[in-house]
Each structure stands twice: as structure tokens, then as C-alpha cells.
């Protein structure tokens, strides 16, 4: 993985944790075509190479915005063909994030509108600063959400709340997002990253194969009947049985010490 990108910054603040920062503060960290390419370049390789990462945090630079949505200045005057070509980049980006086998946490530090809210929604769960605001204003621009919101918001908030949010296009607060099931935890702005990194560290300290299999079982199982989901869960469970980590976990418990998981 390259360490330098035009629109994002990568940091490894603690073992096995990668922080991906959307880094266009002069434009409210808005999503432009290059950011779509950059995020795709970060997330797609995890399908075949975990790069010693066990948890990924996505946040925005500064305290004003997580991501203000698509860069409408870049889009101004685009032909239909150019618009659709750019959106193809965003589609690939959100699929790469959604398909990432590693746990992903959005640390929403400020405004998350349009595609910004969709980037957060593509993560496994969301912590937000109390000052953060969310919104899906696409219908006010003559389009609809196209990077997952109609699916992820409905799954997080329920059908009726998602329809209200998307069809009205009105902004909502971090507290409302938590009440409605989109945000897991609301933190003070000063404590946000510390809380996110604490959770990321706990995830990274657990058995990596087990964590990935649990994520798959939840994500895939929700698309199935309960009976198919139970069958999928057992298949995921059985992948953990012959691992070194399973044996280490039981041994460490009996020896009353912390396990040293290797991801094998």
C-alpha cells in the first residue's frame, strides 16, 4: 500500500490499526474523483492482502467536516457521460469499502452530508462527535443517493425513518442519528478519536480470523433467511476451529494471561 495519496492520509497510531483520514479540509473534505480513486486503492487490496491490519478507522481532517459530500465545484458543467463515469468511480469505491473483510469504524468528526454520510454508512459502525451533522440532500439537487444510502440507512434506521431522511433531505444531528440506529456512540469532539481508537484496539487485540468470520456471518446472514443465516454462521464458526488462535485463546484462558493472537 502506498503511504502517500493526493486526497487522503494514512496513519498507524497503534499496532494493527490503520487510520484513513479524508484530507481536503479546504473543501470540507468533499469527495472528488481523485478521492474515489484513492479510497479504492486503499480498500481493494485488503481482499487479498491484510497488510498486518486488523481494524480500519475512517475520519476527516479538522473539526468542521468529516466529508461534505461530492465536490459540486468539480461537477459543475459536467456532461451526462462525464457525470456517470465519475459516479462509476464512486460506485467502485463504496463497494471496496463495503466488501472489506476487516472491521471498519467511521469517526465522524463534523458534517457528513451526501456521499460523506454514505462513506460513514459503508463502515461497519459509526462513532460521532456531538457537533456532527448528517444529511442526504440529493433529492434537492435532482438526484438520489447513489453510494449506498438507500440501502445502508434503511438497514440501520428502518424503512420508514430512512424514507423520511432521504425524501425530505433534511439534516439531522448526531444525537438523532444515535437514536435512530445509524450512530453507535456520540462523543465530545475532544474525546472522539480516543474513544474510536480504544474500540479499534480492543478489536485488533481479538483473534483476527474469528473477528473477520464474525463480521462476515453478521453481514451475510442479514441478507438470508434465519435458517440460511444459521447455516452460514456454522460454516464461519468451523473456519475458526482448526486455527492456532483458537488453541491459543483456550490456553491463555486456562493460564490466566492475555492471548497472543497471530492470525493463524
pLDDT digits (tens, 9 = 90+) for 49-68: 999 999 999 999 999 999 99
What distance in Å separates the CA atoms of residue 173 and residue 65, rounded to the nearest whole number?
13
The answer, yes or no, to whether residue 1 has pLDDT greater than 70, is no
For the stretch 212-264, pLDDT in tens is 999 999 999 999 999 999 999 999 999 999 999 999 999 999 999 999 999 99
With CA atoms as reference, report the closest residue to 23 among 67, 87, 86: 67
84-103 pLDDT tens trace: 998 899 999 999 999 999 99
Are both 109 and 224 inside the same structural domain? no
Are 180 and 134 members of one domain? Answer: yes
Grid cell of 84 as nine digits:
456517470
Confidence grade of residue 123 (pLDDT, cut at 50, 70, 90): very high
Annotated catalytic residue, options 118, 175, 176, 248: 118
Q: Say which CATH number the domain at 241 has.
A: 1.10.12.10
- For residues 134 and 235, membership in a common domain is answered with no
Kindly state the percentage of the chain with pLDDT values over 70.
99
By the 8 A CB rule, do 127 and 195 touch? yes
Per-residue pLDDT tens over the stretch 145-163: 989 999 999 999 999 999 9
Which residues neighbour 157 within 8 Å (Cβ) at sequence distance 6 or greater? Answer: 165, 180, 181, 182
* Containing structural domain, residue 250: 207-254
Domain count, the chain: 2
Helix (H, G, I), strand (E, B) or coil at 198: helix
pLDDT at 231: 95
Residue 4 pLDDT > 90: no
> In the predicted model, what is the mean pLDDT of the chain?
94
Domain co-membership, 118 together with 21: yes
Tell me, yes or no, whether 177 and 237 share the same domain.
Answer: no
43: in domain: yes
Residue 187: predicted pLDDT: 97
Q: Are 148 and 118 in contact (CB under 8 A)?
A: yes
For residue 3, is pLDDT > 70? no
Active site residue 138: yes
Catalytic hit among 6, 138, 244, 248: 138
Sort strands 104-108 and 125-129 into parallel, antiparallel or unpaired: parallel
Tally of CB atoms within 10 A around 256: 6
| Residue 140 sits in the same domain as residue 222 | no
Strand partners, 127: 107, 185
End-to-end CA distance of the chain: give it in Å, rounded: 22
Residue with cell 469532539: 189
Q: Residues 153, 222: one domain?
A: no
Could you confirm whether 170 is annotated as catalytic? Answer: no
- Same domain, yes or no, for 34 and 108? yes
Residue 263 lies in a domain: no
pLDDT digits (tens, 9 = 90+) for 19-59: 999 999 999 999 999 999 999 999 999 999 999 999 999 99
Is residue 164 located within the same domain as residue 249?
Answer: no
Amino acid at each position: 500500500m502506498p503511504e502517500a495519496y493526493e486526497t487522503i492520509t494514512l496513519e498507524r497510531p497503534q499496532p494493527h490499526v490503520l487510520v484513513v483520514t479524508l484530507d481536503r479540509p479546504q473543501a470540507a473534505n468533499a469527495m472528488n474523483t481523485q478521492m474515489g480513486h484513492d479510497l479504492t486503492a486503499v480498500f481493494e487490496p485488503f481482499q487479498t492482502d491484510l497488510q498486518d491490519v486488523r481494524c480500519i478507522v475512517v475520519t476527516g481532517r479538522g473539526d468542521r467536516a468529516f466529508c461534505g459530500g461530492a465536490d459540486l465545484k468539480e461537477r459543475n458543467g459536467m456532461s451526462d457521460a462525464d457525470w456517470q463515469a465519475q459516479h462509476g468511480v464512486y460506485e467502485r469505491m463504496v463497494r471496496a469499502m463495503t466488501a472489506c473483510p476487516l472491521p471498519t469504524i467511521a469517526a465522524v468528526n463534523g458534517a457528513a452530508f451526501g456521499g460523506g454520510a454514505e462513506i460513514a454508512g459503508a463502515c461497519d459502525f459509526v462513532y460521532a462527535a456531538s457537533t456532527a451533522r448528517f444529511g442526504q440532500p440529493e433529492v434537492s439537487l435532482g438526484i438520489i443517493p447513489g453510494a449506498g444510502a438507500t440501502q445502508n440507512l434503511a438497514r440501520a434506521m428502518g424503512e420508514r425513518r430512512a424514507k423520511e431522511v432521504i425524501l425530505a433531505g433534511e439534516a439531522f444531528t448526531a444525537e438523532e442519528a444515535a437514536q435512530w440506529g445509524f450512530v453507535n456512540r456520540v462523543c465530545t469532539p475532544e474525546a472522539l478519536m480516543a474513544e474510536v481508537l480504544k474500540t479499534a484496539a480492543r478489536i485488533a487485540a481479538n483473534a483476527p480470523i474469528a473477528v473477520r468470520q464474525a463480521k462476515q456471518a453478521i453481514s451475510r446472514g442479514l441478507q438470508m433467511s434465519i435458517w440460511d443465516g444459521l447455516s452460514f454462521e456454522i460454516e464461519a464458526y468451523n473456519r475458526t476451529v482448526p486455527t492456532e488462535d483458537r488453541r491459543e485463546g483456550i490456553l491463555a484462558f486456562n493460564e490466566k494471561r492475555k492471548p497472543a493472537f497471530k492470525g493463524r
